């Protein structure tokens, strides 16, 4: 094609520019030749149109979640965070304060607050938590109030803790975006991915000075309970106020270094909720036990006092 255009140009040049039409033809051929040369140069250098090399490939996090980048931070979508929280290959960390977190949270998310941001003790606590629990090569998805200040500070804390920066992502829009997705947030804790640990009532009764928490309602507790046990009701197990009261109770009344035994009506929902809250309060769930069958256990009920 290039050779043909050169031949035509030579013919016109040799013939002069006596006619207006010949001048027009020369201009047309000159422009065509220039365009063809540019196209050939682009194809010969890359084997494909030049602009294809300028298209950046979109990144991906664990599980194929699409990633966008802005101002040095990497973002995943709220839906990808919901999907990730159902699995065990991603750490979904909620850094909001308890007041906001307790109103609704992603099931299986991990709570470690960074708010208020000026509280340096929270910064140090989050850093230690990251060093002890998050430096395992898994991706980390951060949930804050809106996907801005809290997540940005948490990102810095994780980096200071030695976490690979390529593993740290912010959930775009934060809790505000997640709360707009139906059933994304919940106050129920009974289906958490926790390794629930059970113990027989007779074994608990043989322990001295055991740390026993009765999570039944106050009236039922008053009608009969284990001597020395403490009462912190979780009868309304998915109620925000009840969970907050239990959280505050655990921080002020329980020793996280000693085993905790939870006694509920039947050894199910209320006790599981208690363990999930204790996990948020910093207790090791390997050291927290549900008394099997709860108050229905014959050995337990026989030992009740008023």
**CA angle (215 as vertex; 240, 300 as ends), nearest 5:** 165
Q: How far is CA 226 from the centre of its chain?
A: 39
Q: Are strands 59-60 and 66-70 parallel, antiparallel or unpaired?
A: antiparallel
Which residues touch 124 (CB under 8 Å, ≥6 apart)?
none
pTM of the model: 0.79
Q: What is the pLDDT of residues 61-81, one digit of tens each?
A: 766 899 999 999 999 999 999
Residue 165 has pLDDT above 90, yes or no: yes
The predicted structure's pLDDT at residue 88: 85
Q: What is the pLDDT of residues 249-282, one digit of tens each?
A: 999 999 999 999 999 999 999 999 999 999 999 9
The predicted structure's pLDDT at residue 61: 75
Which residues touch 289 (CB under 8 Å, ≥6 apart)?
197, 198, 199, 259, 260, 261, 262
Q: Are strands 66-70 and 73-76 parallel, antiparallel or unpaired?
A: antiparallel
How would residue 8 be classed by pLDDT, with cut points 50, 70 and 90? very low
How would residue 44 be classed by pLDDT, with cut points 50, 70 and 90? very low
Q: What is the pLDDT of residues 207-249, one digit of tens each?
A: 999 999 999 999 999 999 999 999 999 999 999 999 999 999 9
Cα–Cα distance between 276 and 142 in angstroms, integer?
19
Residue 40 has pLDDT above 70, yes or no: no
Q: How far is CA 105 from the centre of its chain?
A: 10
Give whole-number Cα distances, 97 to 34, 114, 140, 202, 265, in Å: 64, 7, 19, 39, 31
Question: Which one has a higher pLDDT value, 14 or 139?
Answer: 139
**Residue 178's closest CA among 248, 289, 54, 94?**
94
The predicted structure's pLDDT at residue 63: 66
Cα–Cα distance between 100 and 115 in angstroms, integer?
10
Q: Beta-carbon neighbour count of residue 201 at 10 Å?
A: 23
Cα–Cα distance between 214 and 260 in angstroms, integer?
11
Q: What's the mean pLDDT when you consider all of the chain?
A: 86
CB 211 within 8 A of CB 261: yes
Return the H-helix or E-strand segment holding 202. helix 201-205
């Amino acid at each position: 094609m290039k050779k043909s255009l050169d031949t035509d140009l030579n013919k016109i040049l040799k013939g002069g520019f006596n006619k207006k039409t010949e001048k027009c033809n020369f201009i047309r051929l000159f422009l065509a030749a220039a365009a063809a040369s540019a196209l050939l140069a682009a194809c010969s250098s890359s084997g494909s149109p030049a602009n294809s090399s300028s298209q950046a490939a979109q990144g991906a996090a664990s599980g194929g979640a699409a990633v966008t980048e802005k101002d040095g931070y990497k973002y995943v979508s709220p839906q990808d965070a919901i999907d990730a929280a159902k699995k065990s290959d991603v750490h979904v960390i909620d850094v909001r304060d308890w007041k906001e977190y307790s109103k609704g949270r992603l099931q299986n998310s991990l709570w470690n607050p960074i708010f208020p941001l000026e509280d340096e003790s929270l910064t140090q606590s989050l850093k230690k938590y990251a060093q002890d629990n998050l430096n395992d090569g898994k991706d980390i998805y951060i949930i804050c109030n809106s996907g801005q200040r809290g997540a940005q500070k948490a990102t810095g804390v994780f980096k200071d803790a030695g976490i690979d920066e390529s593993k740290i992502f912010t959930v775009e829009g934060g809790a505000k975006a997640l709360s707009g997705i139906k059933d994304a947030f919940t106050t129920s804790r009974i289906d958490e991915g926790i390794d629930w640990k059970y113990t027989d009532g007779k074994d608990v009764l043989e322990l001295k000075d055991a740390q026993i928490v009765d999570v039944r309602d106050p009236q039922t507790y008053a009608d009969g309970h284990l001597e020395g046990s403490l009462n912190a009701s979780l009868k309304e197990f998915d109620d925000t106020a009840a969970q907050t009261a239990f959280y505050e109770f655990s921080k002020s009344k329980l020793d996280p270094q000693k085993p905790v035994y939870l006694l509920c009506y039947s050894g199910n929902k209320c006790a599981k909720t208690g363990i999930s809250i204790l996990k948020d309060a910093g207790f090791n769930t390997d050291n927290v036990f549900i008394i099997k069958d709860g108050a229905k256990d014959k050995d337990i009920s026989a030992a009740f006092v008023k």
